[in-house]
Amino acid sequence: MSSSLPPQEHDSTFKFLFEHPKDILFLVKDVIGYSWAKEIKEDSIELADKEFVDETFHQKRADVIAKARLKDREVYFYIIIENQSTVAEDMPERLLRYMILLWAKKIREGVKKLPAIIPIVTYNGLEKDWDVSQEIISEFDIFKDDIFKYAVVNISKLDAKTLLQEEEDILSPVVFYLEQVRDDTEELVKRLKEIEPKLTKLSQNNAERFLIWAGNVIRPRLVKEDKEKYDELAQRVEQGGSRQMGEFVSNVAKLLDEVQMRKFNEGKIEGKIEGKIEGKIEGKIEVAKKMIRRGFSDEDIAELTELDIEKVKELRKELIN
């Protein structure tokens, strides 16, 4: 005659084992054999609060939650232990929920870096083998290989021109193509003109979304009076739809061309001023050299030429050498 405890009582009688640090260390180091477990500081193992409140404000309780540190690290990691006497089909999802709730709790506490969480199930059932997947992310079916890694879309490296050949009413390739030359106004103007036919085929919604991008990237480059012109052009697109996009592009391109021309002219003026200043300094240096050769003192030369006295001394040293 065999007798068995109800599952909940059976689980409870097993929980007491892992409410002691030495047993937790034994479990992860000697039973499971995690490679990092031998580095755990035994005196750092302590039981943690195992109560959670989920998004519906219901209380959740894990069987055992412990935290510990490795010998060469200051950061704690966590171990969640669930004791089972029966096979639980929902175990991957249950553990994931506990992990998420624990991370959410640490975020609310203001941690700068989320701790690692190691989930463990101790199963002491005798009638049936544990046949539930140990891959927590298997819950996500076809997405499981992409859940815990992130993809990087490096816009500057994309073949955005090829992407533009895709469906007509998609804004992303348009923005990608322009973003690649965001800091080069001349090239930005060229690309704007190039994709004008694409812009005129955008839906009203995407045309308005494009204006948001343009307002953040193009408008700030303009001077105050040009910004007012830009706003008028944008308003026409908002009112008339993408059929006004041709006029918008051609006029915005002109505004950007004017910005480039203005910068070019300012650069020429600055260059002339710098040239005059440099020429003036060179003239003072030549006068100072003549005065050195004629025996004037450094102090007199500095006073008469308005050069820094250290510069005069440097010139004297050059002439002596």
Query: Structural domain boundaries of the chain?
Result: 7-129, 155-263
Q: CATH second-level architecture of 7-129?
A: 3-Layer(aba) Sandwich (3.40)
What sign has the CA pseudo-torsion 92, 98, 104, 110? Answer: negative
Across 184-190, average pLDDT = 87
Amino acid 277: pLDDT: 60
Amino acid 272: pLDDT: 53
As a whole number of angstroms, the distance between CA 314 and CA 83 comes to 83
CB 98 within 8 A of CB 121: no
- What is the per-residue pLDDT across 223-264, written as a single tens digit (0 to 9) for each? 888 899 999 999 999 988 878 888 998 898 888 888 777 766
pLDDT at 191 over 80: yes
Could you give phi then psi for residue 248, rounded to 5 degrees? -60, -50
Give the three-class secondary structure for 32. Answer: coil
Q: Which tokens go with 85?
A: 């006497």
Greater confidence, 31 or 280? 31
Q: Which residue has the tokens 């391109």?
A: 253
Across 22-47, average pLDDT = 89
Across 180-184, average pLDDT = 86
- Percent of the chain's residues with pLDDT above 90: 14
Across 40-46, average pLDDT = 89
Q: Which residue has the tokens 């804004």?
A: 171
* 86 CB-side CA count, 13 A: 10
- What is the per-residue pLDDT across 205-230, written as a single tens digit (0 to 9) for each? 889 999 999 999 899 888 888 899 99
User: Is residue 40 very low, low, confident or very high in pLDDT (cuts 50, 70, 90)?
Assistant: very high
| Global pTM value | 0.59
Amino acid 57: pLDDT: 45
- What is the per-residue pLDDT across 67-101, written as a single tens digit (0 to 9) for each? 999 987 777 899 988 888 889 998 888 888 889 98
Strands 51-53 and 46-47: unpaired
pLDDT at 1 over 50: no
CA distances, 174 to each of 141, 183, 220, 231 (Å): 33, 16, 19, 21
